[in-house]
Every structure is written in C-alpha cells, then in structure tokens.
Structure 1
Amino acid sequence: MEKRLQEAQLYKEKGNQRYREGKYRDAVSRYHRALLQLRGLDPSLPSPIPNLGPQGPALTPEQENILHTTQTDCYNNLADANVRRYLQLTQSELSSYHQKEKQLYLGMFG
C-alpha cells in the first residue's frame, strides 16, 4: 500500500515535469498511471463488487491525506493538461487550414 502511494506520487511528479516541458500528451498518461496506482486504496469509495474478496486496506490518517491530495492534484492536472493539449491540436489544425487556404488562394489568383 505504501509502495503504491509512492509510485502514484512519482508518476504525478513525472507528469508535472512533462507538463512543464509542454509534453501534454505524456503528462496526461503519467497522471492516469498515478490514478491507476491509487485505484482501490480509497476507503471512501464503494467496492465495485461488494462482499467479494478482502476490503480495501486500512489507511492511516496521514496515508489518507496523501491519497486524497495526490488524487485531487492528478485530476486537476489531468484536466488542465487535456485542455492545453486540445488547444495545441486546435492551433496546429488552424495553422494547417490557413496554409491550405493560402495555397488555394495563390493557385486561384497567383
């Protein structure tokens, strides 16, 4: 359990680094991996299949705080990175569109 919390924090930090580098797609991937590490550790979430197998591990208050902080940070960062990635794609598509429009114009009147 402690190992999964640490791995989630490591993925989150790697995602933050990729985000700072402007590599939003890779950042999104890292945030998803962090959230997958935390899956099943949150005692406040119901089990997907009740009464099957052991219940989630008991977390100390400190571990619960780390879990919720990491989850919140990852979800917020994930949303922001997705928006920035979308904007990058949109700008790229617009640039391509304008280039094609310019070529068409020059072909017609050039």
Structure 2
Amino acid sequence: MEAAGADDSLDVQGAAAAESSLPGRRQTSAKSVWTLLEEAAQMKTEGNSFYKEKNFRSAIGRYHRALLVLRSLDSEVMKSLKGFGPERPVLTPEQEALLRSTQVDCYNNLAACLLQRQNVDYARVLEYSLLVLQWRPGDVKALYRAGVATLEIGDAQTAKQYLTQASKEQPNDANVRRHLQRAEEKLKRELQKEKAMYRGMFSSSLKDDSEEEINQTNGVGEGV
C-alpha cells in the first residue's frame, strides 16, 4: 500500500527533539490562531508536493515544521506545560478540528516518508502510525503501516491484527494482502518451531524415563 503514497494524511530521527523545543515558543501571541493553522496547512501541502516528487528529505522538513506550529496550539500538549511561558488561546471546535486533522495527516505522511528510506526506522513508523490511530481509529494507511512496522520489529501476531483490519477496508490492495500473507507465514513457522521444540522435549523425557527403567532393572539383576 505504500505504495499507497502520501495523500493528505509523513519522520526524521530529530523530530522529537525538534518538537520538544516548542514549549517556549511565543509566536502564538504574535499571530492569530487561524494564521498559524493556515501556515501549518500550507506546510503540509508543500510536504505533499515534495513527497510526490520523491524529495522525501524536503517533505520531512515541511511536515516537521507544520507539527512545530501545531504543537504550540495543541491543548493536550500545553495542558502539561501550564504555568510555563505565555498562555495559549482556547481554540474553537472548528479550529481544534483543523489542528487535529492537519496534525494527523502530517504524522501519517511522516510514516510514509520513513518507509521510503533505505534504512527504515520501523519503531518510529509504528510510533507515528499509532498516533494517527489514536486520533483517527480505522485509518487504513495507518493500519497498514503499523502492520508492516510491527511485522518487521518481530511481532507477527499484532502485525496480523493490524493488517487484517486494513484488509477488511481494502480487500483488493496487493500490498496489504502481501504483508498479511507474510505475517501468517511467520506465525505458521513459529508454531511449527514451537511444536518441534515440544516434541523434542517430550522425546527427551521419554528417553530419560526409559533409561532410568533399564538402569533399575539392571540393578535388580546385579543384586541377585
């Protein structure tokens, strides 16, 4: 599905560090909330254009800049920082909806960008995909990316759950089907390996019991 690309719904390793510098931002007081929201939305749009051009580095930069602006307005983030820096304005329901929608799209597309890298940071792909699913449950692209990341990390069972959900929404998507099949095959191999291990343990136990019985028999004969 990544194939599935970067729609309006992309990480660089320094994202968290960059975003953590936001608490001290004072631009909110200098610009209106709508101006900042429009600024972030424009950065997201520019990021989408870079993604389509396969300029992932520039796309990542735009998405992070958008997230930095949005972080300065996010009530959930600022709640834990109450008392530090200037007060943030209370957003209207419409502003809150636009903030969250743009934020979710940026995280979704950051995950898409990461999957295009030669050395993929699957842990971060999963982190961003889960953020998307937290705010937008059932998002097919986030389910797919979470499934791929979880599978690569080694948790085939959870990967199967994500990919099965994505498959229900996109039953004809070849990438979803391919990775779901990979997850099922990995689970099958793990089950076979587990069965072989138990068979080996059981055979070893029977062998030990048999040898012990022979030794006891020999001991009786020697006593006579």
Deviates more, 1:43-52 or 1:9-18: 43-52
Compared with structure 1, are the counterparts of its residues 83 and 61 closer, same or farther at alpha carbon in structure 2 (3 Å cutoff)?
A: same
2:82 aligned to which of 37, 45, 50: 50
User: Unpaired runs of 5+ in structure 2?
Assistant: 1-32, 121-224
In the alignment, the residues of structure 1 paired with residue 40 and residue 62 of structure 2 have an alpha-carbon distance, to the nearest angstrom, of 9
Q: Which amino acid aligns with 1:7?
A: E
Pairing of 1:1-110 with structure 2 (within 5 A): 1-47=33-79, 49-84=81-116, 86-87=117-118
Distance 2:65 2:83 in 1: 27
Tell me, in whole angstroms, the C-alpha distance in 1 between the residues paired with 2:78 and 2:62: 25
TM-score (norm 1): 0.71
Q: What is the number of equivalent residue pairs in this alignment?
A: 88
- CA deviations on 1:39-95 (whole Å, 9 max, x unpaired) are 2201122445432344321111000000000000000101111221x13x68xxxxx
SS at match of 1:44: helix
**Alignment RMSD:** 1.8
Tell me the SS of whatever aligns to 1:76: helix
Letter in 2 for 1:70: T
Pick the structure with greater CA Rg: 2
Structure 1 runs of 4+ with >2 Å offset: 44-50, 52-55
Higher relative contact order (CA 8 A, sep 6+): 1
Q: Deviations over 1:4-45 (max 9, x none)?
A: 100000000000000011111110011001111112201122
SS at match of 1:57: coil
The amino acid across from 1:78 in the alignment is: L
3-state DSSP of counterpart to 1:41: coil
Query: In 1, are the aligned partners of 2:46 and 2:62 still within 8 Å (CA)?
Result: yes
Structure 1: tracts of 5 or more residues without a match: 91-110
In structure 1, distance between residues paired with 2:80 and 2:97: 22
Aligned-partner residue type, residue 8 of structure 1: A
CA contact (8 A) 1:25 1:82 kept: no
In structure 2, what residue type is equivalent to 1:72? V
Is contact 2:37-2:98 (8 Å) kept?
yes
